[in-house]
Structure formats: C-alpha cells, structure tokens
Structure 1
Amino acid sequence: MTLLTLHQVERAYGDALVFGDVSLRIAEDDRIGIVGDNGAGKTTLVKVLIGEDPPDRGERSVRRDLEIAWTAQIPQLTAGMTVLEAAQRSFARFEAMESELRELETAMAAEPENASLAARYERVHTAFEAGNGYRRHAFAERALQGLGFARDRFGDDVEVLSGGEKARVALAQAMLLPAELLILDEPTNHLDLEGIAFLEDWLEQRKGAFVLVSHDRRFLDRVCRSIVEIDSGQVTRYRGNYSAWQEQKARELETALREYEKQSEWYAKEMAYIRKHMGSRWTAQAKGRLKRLQRVERLARPRTGPGARMALRLGSAKGLSGQTVIEGKSLSLRYGDAEPLFEDVGFRVFHGDRIGILGRNGTGKSSLLEIIAGQQPATKGTIERSKTLRVGYFRQEMDDLPTSGTVLSTFMSLVPNWTEGECRDHLARFVFRGDDVDKDVRVLSGGEKRRLCLARLVVQPVDCYLLDEPTNHLDIATREALEEALDDFEGTIVSVSHDRWFLNRVIQRVFELTKAGIIVHEGGIEDYETSATARRRVEEAEKREQRQERRAESAAEALPSTASTASSNKIRNPYAFEKLEARIMELETEREELQAALHDENAWKDPERMKELQGKVQSIDGELQGLYETWENWQ
C-alpha cells in the first residue's frame, strides 16, 4: 500500500534549484536512506515529505489519515517537563483514549440501552489495545534506557539537558509515536555505539515504513533496503543498502566512463578527418561531418568518485618509530563532589598507533582526550608526552578559531605558501564553496565551524592527531576523503568516534574507557563489538534477574491469593514468570467474556447488571496494566 507519493516535484530557493523532477513513492514496508553531499538538499527533501515545505512545482500526495512521526536535527522540548514526561508525550493519544474509555463507562452505566455508546466503547478499546496502550509506560522507559538514559535521569528537567541529550529525548518521542511512517534526520549523531545498536535493533523490529537522513554508513548498511541519492539536483532511488548502492554507483561510473571514452575517441577521429580534409577536394564531406558533430551532445567526463574528487593534503609527520609518544599513569577525573568519571586509567601510545577511544556516553572520553592534549588537568595521575611530539588537537568546542576574518582569510593565514586557488580548492573539500569562503567566521554555524577547524588542522605539520568526533557534520564524500588521508598518514592517531565505518578504516586498537579503567582491544573495532555484544547480553541477563528479584514481591501481590505460598518465598524466575503469564491469559479471557456480556441486549436492559460488568472490566484493566508492565520488565 502506498503511503506517500511525490510526482515531478521541484524545489528552489530564489534562482538556486535544489532538486527538480523528483518522483518518489513510499510504501508501507519501505526502509529508505537518503544520502548526498552537505547542501545537496536532503533536509529540504525531508521537509517536502512531511509537508512542512511545499514544492514549487509538482504534487505531493498522502494517503488520507496517514500519521507521520519525525524528528529534526534541532529538537524542541517543553520546559518544565522531566525526561520521562517528555518521552511519554508521544502517548497523548492513548491518554485521551483512556480518559474517553472511563467517560464512556460512566455514560453506559447511566444509559445501559444506548447501543451507540457500547459500539463506540468497543472501537476505542480495540484501538487502545492494538496500540499497546497498557504497555506504553514500559515502552517509554525501555526506549530511554536504550538511548543511554539511566533510570535516575528520568526525573531530570529537560532544560538542564545538553544538546545531545535533548536530541536523544526527541528521538525517543519519535520512536514511541504510533505512526505508520517514521522520518529521522541524522538520528545517530548523539548516540554512543550501544545506543546505535539499540536503534538498529528497534528499527529492524519496527512495523511500518521509515525514511532516514544519515551520513552513518554502517547504520545505513544495517537498516535500509533502498537508498535515495541527491546529487546535482537529481534524486535517484537505488535498491539495496548502502554497500549495494556503492556497488551500483561503481558499475554506473564504469559504464559512463566507457561511453565517455568511446565518444571522445570517435570525436577525436572525426575532428582529425575534418582538419585533414578541410580545403581539399573532400571539403564537402568534411563540412558535412562538422555539421553532424555540432549537433552531437558531448558527454561530460564522469566524476571518478569521492576519493579522487576529494583528495586531501595532510601535514607531514616526523619519523619517531618505536617510541612511546604518550603515556598515562593512574589517571582519575572527578568534577566537584560527583562520582568519578574514571579512575586508575593507565595506557601507552606508540608512534604510528591508530587508537580509538570508545565507551558509553558519560564515561569521559572527550575529557580523557583533553587531558592527553594538555587542555585540562586530571584529578589524579600524570600524562607524559614525548618532548618533540607535535600534536594536532581537534575538539568538539570550536574555541580556537580567530574572532574575526573570513573563512578564506582564516585558512590562508596558516598556509602562506599556498595560492588562493589552492586554498579555495582545499576549503571546497570541506564544503566551503563559492561565496561560502567569504563568510565571517563569527556567523558560522556549529557544523561550519567544525569543518573549518578540521580544514585548518589537517594542513599543519603534526606527528599525532587527537580527534574528537572528527566525522560529525561531514558528508560521506568528505568522510571518505579524510579516511583516505589519515590512512596514508605516517604518524599517530588517537580518536574518539562513534562512526563505525571510520573506526574500521582508520583504527587498529581500541581503548574502551570504563569507570574502573581501560580495556584494550588489540583487534580493533570488530574485537570491541564482539566483546561489547557478549558483555551486553550478560548485563541484560543480570538486569532481568535483578528486576525479577525486585519485583517478585509486588508481582506476587498482583497474582491471585492461591499464589501466597510462592509470594512468601519471593517467587523465583521460572515459576513466577509462568504464573504471571498464566494470570495475564486468565484475565484477558475473562475480559473478553465480560465484553461479550456488555454487548448482550439483556445487559443493556438491566442498569445494575451493566454497572457491575463495567466495574469488573475497569478492575481487570487496572490489574492488567500492572501485570503488563511487570511482564515487560521481566523480559
């Protein structure tokens, strides 16, 4: 079934065409990833899809009553709400439905013979159950925890959250909305690797269509079944995931190059004939060929891929082979009276190492990089660096840019031997093109400042790059160019990143930062992911066990009195779970029988009977809600 269609849509800003002649169909089971360079029009296409930005030409058709959930890169949350309350705003419809059910029950008790009330009650309750209305609170808690919020953060006011935390709450809201079409704009930007894995699993299990804008290539590989590419104003759809798209693009490029070379060879032969015979007795034939050539549309040379198109020039590193260039000894970090972010961290970094610092959000990865860079002191311990080591540090806060000047002048001051043309070419690789280079640095957005800082950093002569989320705000072409340049870099790299494609390409060892220290994974990102998956399964099993222990007593109280013996023994796993499921099935069956009785004509004629049945249904609903939440927590 088709949910949404764009037919020959065009969108422009002033005289600048963003894209034109776009025809796109989204079906109920589609899983689409949108890719393209920065500025290509990905977010504009999303806004057209959701109806926020109407097309200049063409038609947008949406199935009547279609519900669309979407989250923007910049979330809007209501001040005064807690994290849990903000997430549960997605259930406003269910709250209204539950309120209506209570009102209908009261009205049905007063008018037991009113068939329309009973029919309305049945419709609302069926929709409530189908949408898992009774399990909504458990779903909200699970989503927040999966996206990196500990339970003790559920009561925090959204106003005190960081930008990344607000984005995660907004993502939870969109995930929890019961919509047939979900549209997400850069959803992995503020997630750690475990949060990304949770989102991938959730999307794989989700029923319904989704459209994602993302530069996270591994994420697109995992969850998408088709790729929509925006390139030079054209929108093209490809079957398969990100890797399949790359393969198709490579085949297209190979075919286009053959066609270009074939035409170029033919054209050259024709021109050689014309030059040779013009003015001779074969002039008429030469003029005829010239006219034919003038009518032929020349093929443009195909772009030969991001690696060639976006090659970067990095500064050179000195030969320090075999040396220990950085060593951390018993490092600890604590802010005020809060719990330490980490304790007793020790490590050694050798010249030529490619190290990724990974760990959950909030473990202090960026802070550790700051300590290594000498930008902040550790609470305890020491950091030692080679005296001759030249360090290039790329941080998330862009506070090392000049306070005045343009993008171009700010860059040219670093490379006095470069021509203006070379500087413009380099900046273009970081998506500063045309008039962009004349922007004042004070008016740049956060993403633009990061790109400028990175453009400045990679041309400086350094022996060691310290990189904090270097691929954030970069499009795929620039990411690939950066990876290729770093792959050829002969010095040391230490990077914090959640971009698994980048980590797989650039990183050889992983330092996993925990509160208790560093776990070294010599096998790189694959070794880390294997270990993290196994550890996560153990932790989930332990958490289930703990939840069962904590909730055993309350679960036993929710069970019938015949379970009193089990209650006194604080019900243990298999028996308690079976008993819980049996009770749920028993109540669901009883509820169905009561619903059937409520629809019996004889019940309508007996107000007392009607009131009694409604009271029993309400009582069962309340008990079921508690049991459903217990069941969810025991999973």
Structure 2
Amino acid sequence: MILACHNIEKAFGEREIVRDGSFHIEDREKAALVGVNGAGKSTILKMIIGEEPLDGGEVILAKGKTLGYLAQRQDLKSGNTIYEEVKSAKADIFAMEAQIRSIEHELKHLEGEELQSRLETYNRLQSEFDARNGYACESEITGVLKGLGFTEDDFNKQTDTLSGGQKTRVSLGKLLLTSPDILLLDEPTNHLDLNSIAWLETYLINYSGAVFIVSHDRYFLNRVVTKVVEIDNAQVRMYLGNYKDYAMKKQQIRDAQLKEYMNQQREIKHQQAVIDKLKSFNREKSIKRAESREKMLDRITPLDKPVDSTKEMHFTLEPSQISGNDVLTVEHLSKQFDSQVLFRDISFEIKRGEHVAVIGDNGTGKTTLLKIINQVIEADQGEFTLGSKVTIGYYDQEHHVLHDDKTIFDEISDDYPDLTNTQIRNTLAAFQFTGDEVFKEIHTLSGGEKGRVSLAKLMLSEANFLILDEPTNHLDITSKEILEEALNNYSGTILYVSHDRYFINQTASRILELVNQTFVNYIGNYDYYLEKKEALTLAYASGNETNAENVSNSGNSAASTPASDSKLSWQEQKEQQARERKRKNELKKTEEEIAKLEDRNTEIDEELTKEEVYSNSIECQKLSTERAANEARLEELYELWEELAE
C-alpha cells in the first residue's frame, strides 16, 4: 500500500465535504476519484498533499515514497520556454551529465591515486546515469511534449505567454517526467485533444507508479483505472473495476435498496390496513389483535428511500416545427488566420435527423466552422445554405451568448418575454438554480453554472437544428448522462464539436474528422471511427488538395455497411422511443388500476363494518372473496409497476 486515508473529516462551515472517509491506493494501482461537481474531489486531493488541513483522521504516504500533484489550474511565471520548463523536471540528470563531462576533461591531467579516485567517481556516475536512462532523456522530453499536443515550433514559446490550457499541459508534461511514486491528477484530460488523451491513456496504463485521478472522462477512466473511489454526500466508498464496472455495481446496489424500500413500504401499508380494519370492528379480540400488530409495526426500522446523490438536471429538447430534409449544405468553404490555413475547399451536407460530431486536433478549426455557420465570423471563400424551416439553437463553449452584466433570471426573461415568472423559475429549477440563486449575475458563475444557463436557453429555443460547441465541458458525469438522453430523444438535427469520446459514442450517428485541412467522413459512432480511422485517413486525407465532398462520397462508399447500420441505428432509436411511450402508457394504466383496486378495497372494508353485511354470511363471503382477489391482483400490479418504473 502506497497511500491510505483513514477516517478523514472535512467541512467548510455547515457544508460537510467528507465524513469518516477511508480508502487506500496500492503500489502501481490506477484509481479514480469520482463524484458530482462540488462533492469535494479536488479538496480531497489537496488534503492528501497537505495544501488543505484535515478536520480529523490521517493521510499516510508509505515511507520513502514520492508524490506528484497536478492541479486544474496552473500559473507558470518562470520566464522559461516550454522546453526549458519541462526539461527542469530532469535537472538532476542534466547536472549529472555535466559532472560526467567535467570529469572526462579532468582525467586527461590526473595520475596516480587522484586519477583512481576520480575514475571511481566517474564510473559510479556513469552507472547511475545509464540506470536512469540519461542517454534517452532529451528524446523522452520531446516525446512527452509531442504526446501532449505541442509541436517543435512550440518548444521555444515563453510559458508566460501561454493560455491556461497550454500551461496545464506544460505542467502535466513536467510532472510526468519527474516520475513520482504516486501521481495525483485533477482533470488531466481538460485542454487535451483526442490524440493527446489517447497518448496519456497509454502513458498512464504503462506508468511504473500509482495514479489517482479526478476526471469526468468516462472513456478515459474505462481505459485506465482498476479501482473507483466515490465521494457521495460526504461518504466515501470503494469499487473494484473501471468506471463501467463501478456504474453497474452502483446501479445494482441502488436497485436492491429501492426494491427493499418498496417491499417494506408495501408491508407497512398492508399491516396498517389490517390494523385499521381490525380496529374498525370495535371488538375486544380484534382490538387486541390490532394492538399486537401495531407493536410489530413499531419494531420495524423504516428504510430511507434511496435517492440520487445530486439535484439532477431534468429537461427535454423538442423542436417547435419539423425542418426540410436538407438541413445544411456547405460548399467549397475555406478559412485561414494570417498564414495558418484551418481548412480549404470543404463541402458536406447534413440531413434532417442526423447527429454529426466534428472531431480533430486542437487548432484545426472545429469551433471556427461552427462560428461560420452561426454567422459569428465570415468564411474566406465558399458558402453554406440552411434548408427550409431550419431554426438554429447555438451552444457556445465560451458562452458569448450570455450577458455578463445580467442576472440568470434576466438572461432568460429578456430572451423569452412571454414566459411568466413561475415558468422561468421552473425552467431554472430544472437546471439546479433555485431560490435566490436565480439572481446571481452571469459574471460570478463558474464554467459549469454558465453551461447550465446556456443549456436552459437551448431548451427554451425549440430549435430544430442544434449546433453545440463542447457541450459537456464543466458538466459532471450525471449531468452528461442526462444531456445524452435528451439528445438521443431529440427528433431534430445536431452538429457538435466534442473531445468527450464516451459522449460521442453515445450520441453520434456520423463523425466528420478535420484532418490535413479537410474532412474525412465516418458513418458511425466513435468505436466505428477508431476501427476505420487509419484506412480512411490514408485514402482520403493524405494530401492537401482532397475535396471534402469527394471524401464524404468516398467515405460513404467505403463504408456502405456502416451506412446501413446508421439507418438501422436511427430506426432502432425510433423503435426505442415507441417502446418508451408504450412503457409510460402501461405505467399510467397500472397506477390507475392500483388506485381503483385500493379504493375498492377501502369500500369493501367499509361495507364489512356494516351490521347488515358482516351479519350476512353470504354477502360477507362474497366481499371477502372479492377483496382477496383484489389483493392478489394488487401484488401482481405492484411488481409490474416496479418493473415499468425501473
């Protein structure tokens, strides 16, 4: 065991972060720390490194072990270049190399015992230098920088001039090269493109030390970790396996708890009904039996109904009208900034109902393309055409559609003046803004909060063509899953940019990869893209003159089977929606029948208390038989309702 947290406690005022929390990390183990936004994940990492004091408990790092930490935000003010900053992680090795070279020069002028002594020092340093892979040090630095998305042209850039995301990547590279015994990484995939994330996955899987990661990237966690530590309502739990295993086990536990709760509630309700009935007879024997049952009922410890750990967003996206079949046609579009060509002569079409993901390395022009279609900036050449009755709903990752000086409430009411105060508050409540929170000013909000306001506006737009730029940024895993469900049930058309591979896999029916200044078209989700990437990129984006329309056509031709799979997937989505409507109808009918039978049993109980009934053996038997049949049917309906509700 390399790291252990025993009974740790932390609170900020009345807000409890963790209570009596315990977990451990084994040597070389790769583990994740998960929880909703605000659960306290970053705080726990800071407690481990000693940056945040504990209120109780202890953190134990194995003797002689080193620890490295990557925070979400970095502030590099060293005055170094990117290469110099990362190279400083290997300063001791370069100092050793300098000492070796110095001794080599000294040896020419030494003799006797002095020569022998320096030779011994030289051999010792040479062995250590070789053992620490000193000869490959420079190539290792270059490999890490390139793996994290930097080109050799970037190496001489001053760190002071970098963006926040670039500084985080530099700090990550520097940390990886220090090779501590345990890495603590807080959202390491933020600011990385898909290729860099894939490179980091491989690096961490093969890393010789332990890794403890905070991340909302489910695809990344599935690939890297073998243990999940969850912080939920200040409680810590450990699950073996990757994120998929954790999610499945957590759902199984919740299902079992819900079933146990519902069974207990049914039993309590049944016993209370019997007690009430016995008391209603108003006879000494029946009253004693009722009292006996009440004592039994009092001994039952009521179970709490299991609830989800967060106030979830809950919303649906539905267009106000259906667009024409041709939603977007892009023809010969080109764009460059100064001498940097982003894309050249690209052409593609998007049809109604398609869910299209745009992917590519950082800086290739994905966001620029969305801004051109939204007429935020102009293309250098070419044009695009929107189809008949197409209305756009735009989600901007930088949230330029929001007004910093407005409150959340005004942001909605000004854009949708026909909504009443109650309607606005209900909408914002669906996105976790309640009470006085709706009067917060936009400029005071976190990235995640701004994202939720933008999603609220998107829902109200009733657009039939959604254009989304990194919609999952700053969302926790639960919120991502809710967004995925909303998009999969959306009957309109979607074009979006995302680095979230799990999200792409769940929501995309087609992928456009921006590579070598053009598009390669994949008719399928992210798994299909991975399968076909090498062959299609080589065939259709090996040169800069490839016409994107030909790429798209060739891509369709080369992937005729996946195209039919895509149609099948769309058909399956329609069938799934139909099954969902049927489930809801059956659930409603079941609830109505349960209510009807329970009302009838109440009537029967009342009838049985009447003298003319309970003194009439035939009538009494008839009602009792009916009630028994009703109870049997209710048991069936309870089970059916539970199945339908789940």
TM-score tier, shorter chain, comes to 0.7 to 0.9
Q: 1:486 to 1:408 in 2, by over 3 A?
A: same
Aligned to 1:526: 527
Superposed CA offset, 1:288-317 (max 9, x none): 5445544543212223799x9543122424
User: Structure 1 CA distance, aligned partners of 2:56 and 2:322?
Assistant: 59
Shift of 1:369: 0.8
- What SS does the corresponding residue of 1:334 show, helix, strand or coil? strand
Shift of 1:408: 3.8
**Structure 1 unaligned spans of 5+:** 539-635
User: Structure 2 CA distance, aligned partners of 1:293 and 1:217?
Assistant: 45
- The code of the aligned residue for 2:39 comes to A
Shift of 1:431: 4.8
Report if the CA contact (8 A) 1:32-1:211 is conserved.
yes
- What SS does the corresponding residue of 2:341 show, helix, strand or coil? coil
Report if the CA contact (8 A) 1:357-1:513 is conserved.
yes
Judge which range, 249-258 or 229-238, deviates more.
249-258
Shift of 1:189: 1.7
- What SS does the corresponding residue of 2:474 show, helix, strand or coil? coil
Q: 1:174 to 1:168 in 2, by over 3 A?
A: same
Match for 1:303 among 300, 303, 307?
A: 307
Aligned to 2:316: 313
- The code of the aligned residue for 2:521 comes to V
Report if the CA contact (8 A) 1:78-1:86 is conserved.
no
Aligned to 1:364: 365
- What SS does the corresponding residue of 1:66 show, helix, strand or coil? coil
Answer 1 or 2: higher relative contact order, Cα 8 Å, separation at least 6.
Answer: 1
What's the TM-score once normalised by structure 1's chain length?
0.77
- The code of the aligned residue for 2:58 comes to E
Aligned to 2:17: 18
Shift of 1:478: 0.6
**Structure 2 unaligned spans of 5+:** 540-646
- What SS does the corresponding residue of 1:513 show, helix, strand or coil? strand
User: Structure 1 CA distance, aligned partners of 2:524 and 2:148?
Assistant: 26
- The code of the aligned residue for 1:355 comes to V
Match for 2:329 among 313, 327, 330?
A: 327
Residue 492 in structure 1 maps to residue 496 in structure 2: no
Shift of 1:537: 10
Aligned to 1:550: none
1:454-469 equivalences under 5 Å are: 454-469=455-470
- What SS does the corresponding residue of 1:273 show, helix, strand or coil? helix
Shift of 1:455: 2.4
Shift of 1:379: 0.9
Q: 1:536 to 1:285 in 2, by over 3 A?
A: same
1:476-491 equivalences under 5 Å are: 476-491=477-492
Report if the CA contact (8 A) 1:356-1:495 is conserved.
yes
Shift of 1:164: 2.1
Judge which range, 231-240 or 517-526, deviates more.
517-526
User: Structure 2 CA distance, aligned partners of 1:435 and 1:122?
Assistant: 71
Aligned to 1:135: 136
Q: 1:410 to 1:320 in 2, by over 3 A?
A: closer
Q: 1:355 to 1:18 in 2, by over 3 A?
A: same
Aligned to 1:449: 450
Q: 1:211 to 1:124 in 2, by over 3 A?
A: farther
Aligned to 1:63: 62
Shift of 1:387: 5.5
Shift of 1:361: 1.3
Report if the CA contact (8 A) 1:430-1:478 is conserved.
no
What's the TM-score once normalised by structure 2's chain length?
0.76
Aligned to 1:542: none
Q: 1:439 to 1:267 in 2, by over 3 A?
A: same
Shift of 1:61: 1.1
User: Structure 1 CA distance, aligned partners of 2:122 and 2:423?
Assistant: 71
Judge which range, 56-65 or 489-498, deviates more.
56-65
- What SS does the corresponding residue of 2:2 show, helix, strand or coil? strand
- The code of the aligned residue for 1:401 comes to L
Q: 1:78 to 1:133 in 2, by over 3 A?
A: farther
Aligned to 1:349: 350
Shift of 1:222: 0.6
1:414-433 equivalences under 5 Å are: 426-427=427-428, 430-432=431-433
User: Structure 1 CA distance, aligned partners of 2:116 and 2:294?
Assistant: 86
Aligned to 1:571: none
Aligned to 2:167: 166
Report if the CA contact (8 A) 2:323-2:387 is conserved.
no
Identical amino acids, percent of aligned pairs:
36
